[in-house]
C-alpha cells in the first residue's frame, strides 16, 4: 500500500477501509474499482489483504462492536447527530471518504450502540445529482436515498448480501427497473424486459 510497510503490518486505517468498500463493489463495477485502486496507488493484493483483515476483525471472538470498530479504523466521526426515523431515535455518525469527497460513510446506531445501518450518503451541503431518467442513473453517481426520492414510490427489495440494497423503480416513461447498490452507492440498473 505504498506506506513503506508490507500489507498487513500497519494499523488498519481509512485507506484500508476504502479498499474494503471497493472490494465489495468490484462484483458490479470492476473497471471503476480498478481505476480507483490505481488512484489510491495500491495493488490488487493490497485490496484482497485489506478485505481479509476486515473480515478477520468482524468475525473475531474478541471483535469490538461495530461502532467501536469504525471509530478505531476511521477515527472520531466528522459529525454525530441524533436523528428521528418514524417513532425511533438513533445516532447518525459520519466519516469522510477521500475516494468520494462528496459522500460520507454513515453509521446509524440504536440507543445502546447497536448498528442499524452502515452506508454511503451525500455529504451535507453537497448537491445531489439531478435524477430524471434512466440515463441519469450512472454507477457511483448517487445513493439509495437519492434514487428513492427521485423515483417515488421506490420499492425496497432484498439485496444479495448484507452490504447490498435493491430498489424497484418505475421510470417516468413507465419502464420498470431495479437499481442495485453496494454500501449505499449505485452500482447498476437492470431492466426486467431487456435494455
| pLDDT tens for each residue of 114-168 | 788 899 999 999 999 999 998 999 999 999 999 999 999 999 998 888 889 999 9
pLDDT in tens, 82-118: 988 888 888 999 999 999 999 999 999 887 777 888 9
pLDDT at 7 over 70: no
pLDDT band at 57 (very low <50, low <70, confident <90, very high): confident
pLDDT at 21 over 50: yes
pLDDT band at 179 (very low <50, low <70, confident <90, very high): very high
- Mean of the per-residue pLDDT values of the chain: 89
Q: How many CB atoms lie within 10 A of CB 193?
A: 7
Q: Which of 186, 185, 162 is nearest to 54 (CA)?
A: 162
What does the pLDDT read at residue 194? Answer: 55
Q: What is the CA radius of gyration of the chain?
A: 17
pLDDT at 59 over 70: yes
Indicate the pTM of the whole model: 0.88
Q: Say if residues 95 and 50 touch (Cβ distance below 8 Å).
A: no
Amino acid at each position: 500500500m505504498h506506506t513503506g510497510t508490507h500489507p498487513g503490518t500497519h494499523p488498519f486505517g481509512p485507506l484500508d477501509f476504502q479498499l474494503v468498500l471497493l472490494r465489495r463493489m468490484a462484483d458490479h463495477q470492476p473497471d471503476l474499482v480498478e481505476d480507483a485502486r490505481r488512484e489510491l496507488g495500491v495493488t490488487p493484493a493490497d485490496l484482497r489483504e485489506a478485505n481479509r483483515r476486515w473480515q478477520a476483525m468482524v468475525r473475531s471472538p474478541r471483535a469490538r462492536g461495530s461502532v467501536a470498530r469504525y471509530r478505531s479504523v476511521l477515527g472520531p466521526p466528522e459529525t454525530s447527530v441524533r436523528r428521528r426515523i418514524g417513532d425511533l431515535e438513533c445516532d447518525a455518525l459520519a466519516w469522510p471518504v477521500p475516494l468520494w469527497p462528496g459522500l460520507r460513510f454513515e453509521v446509524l446506531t440504536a440507543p445502546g450502540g447497536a448498528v442499524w445501518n452502515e452506508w454511503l450518503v451525500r455529504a451535507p451541503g453537497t448537491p445531489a445529482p439531478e435524477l430524471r431518467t434512466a440515463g441519469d442513473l450512472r454507477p457511483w453517481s448517487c445513493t439509495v436515498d437519492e434514487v428513492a426520492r427521485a423515483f417515488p414510490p421506490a420499492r425496497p427489495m432484498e439485496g444479495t448480501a448484507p452490504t447490498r440494497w435493491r430498489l424497484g423503480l418505475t421510470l417516468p416513461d413507465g419502464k420498470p427497473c431495479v437499481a442495485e447498490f453496494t454500501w449505499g452507492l449505485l452500482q447498476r440498473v437492470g431492466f426486467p424486459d431487456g435494455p
